[in-house]
């Protein structure tokens, strides 16, 4: 049974760094095709993809937030960690981790992530002083 | 980044109605499109991938169609469990993007 579970602080102050952990079970982070992304959703708003990590440790980031994001994984602990620096109230959102079952190569040879077949329950992070 | 535009943003319908939701991409994405259903306080659930492939366990009343820049999610006969918000997502480029969502409400 595939599960993902997010953990981290519920409240952070402006300018602080957010660190979230996604603990997975039912699949291995070393599986050659599977990967994990982070996605967020501000209250009442749409979903926004943030970052992805592939099994070989290759990373992919949102164009808009690339300078503030870092994604990493610890395969032995089945964990994927996301850090987002310089938090602002507009970063208040529910943060989800989600699994992608595979990827493909586009015409330029870049890996493109698939859809998300399993999601964690999400964790609400509020940014306020 | 590829922009995804959903319409309508809100849809009022009754149980048993056939409903359709449209998703338009700012450039061609071939068939690299997924649809999700999200209920309040819950994570999204995958319904359709590759524009028209039904995810395992999803009722057959859901169907997807389209390619290029225009896509449709259809629910053939709306059930009480289907009142939710629906999102499309493109995976044609490495920077994934979602549509703004369509809320299906009870009429």
Taking CB atoms and an 8 Å limit, are B32 and A112 in contact across chains? yes
Shortest Cα–Cα distance, B38 to chain A (Å): 10
Note the residue count of chain A.
129
Taking CB atoms and an 8 Å limit, are A113 and B92 in contact across chains? no
Confidence category of residue B71, pLDDT binned at 50, 70, 90: very high
The position carrying tokens 């507009």 is A90
Written as six digits, the tokens of A99 are 């699994």
CB A87, CB A13: distance < 8 Å: yes
pLDDT at res. B76: 96
Which residues are B68's β-sheet partners?
Answer: none
pLDDT tens readout for residues B4-53? 999 999 999 999 999 999 999 999 999 999 999 999 999 999 999 999 99
**In whole numbers, what is the pLDDT of chain B averaged over residues?**
96
CB B86, CB B36: distance < 8 Å: yes
pLDDT at res. A116: 97
Residue B90: pLDDT over 90? yes
**Cβ neighbour number for residue A56 with a 10 Å cutoff:** 9
pLDDT tens readout for residues A70-99? 999 999 999 999 999 999 999 999 999 999
Task: Average the pLDDT over A24-44 and give the result.
Answer: 94
Phi-psi category of residue B42: left, alpha or beta, with phi > 0 → left and psi -120 to 50 → alpha? beta
Q: How far apart are the C-alpha atoms of A74 and B100, rounded to whole Å? A: 33
Residue B93: pLDDT over 90? no
> Is the peptide bond prior to B8 cis by the omega test (within 30 degrees of 0)?
yes
**Nearest CB neighbour to A46, from listed B34, B87, B96:** B87
Q: How far apart are the C-alpha atoms of B46 and B63, rounded to whole Å? A: 12
pLDDT at res. B94: 85
Confidence category of residue A31, pLDDT binned at 50, 70, 90: confident
Rg over CA atoms, chain B? 13
Q: Is B42 an 8 Å CB contact of chain A?
A: yes
A43 DSSP assignment? T
Task: Average the pLDDT over A59-65 and give the result.
Answer: 94
Q: Is A58 an 8 Å CB contact of chain B?
A: no
């Amino acid at each position: 049974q595939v599960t993902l579970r997010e953990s981290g602080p519920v409240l952070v102050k402006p300018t602080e760094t957010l660190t979230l952990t996604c603990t997975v079970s039912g699949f291995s982070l070393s599986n050659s095709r599977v990967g994990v992304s982070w996605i967020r959703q501000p209250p009442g708003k749409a979903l926004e993809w943030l970052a992805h990590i592939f099994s070989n440790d290759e990373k992919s980031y949102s164009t808009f937030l690339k300078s503030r994001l870092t994604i990493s994984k610890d395969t032995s602990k089945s964990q994927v960690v996301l850090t987002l620096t310089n938090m602002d109230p507009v970063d208040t959102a529910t943060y989800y981790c989600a699994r992608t079952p595979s990827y493909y190569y586009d015409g330029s040879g870049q890996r493109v992530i698939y859809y998300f077949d399993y999601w964690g329950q999400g964790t609400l992070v509020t940014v306020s002083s | 980044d590829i922009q995804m535009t959903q319409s309508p943003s809100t849809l009022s319908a009754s149980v048993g109605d056939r409903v359709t939701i449209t998703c338009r991409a700012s450039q061609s994405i071939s068939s690299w499109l997924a649809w999700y259903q999200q209920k309040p306080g819950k994570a999204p659930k995958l319904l359709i991938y590759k524009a028209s492939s039904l995810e395992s366990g999803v009722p057959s009343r859901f169907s997807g169609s389209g390619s290029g820049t225009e896509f449709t999610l259809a629910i053939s006969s709306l059930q009480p469990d289907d009142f939710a918000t629906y999102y499309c997502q493109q995976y044609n480029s490495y920077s994934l993007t979602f549509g703004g969502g369509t809320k299906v409400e009870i009429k």
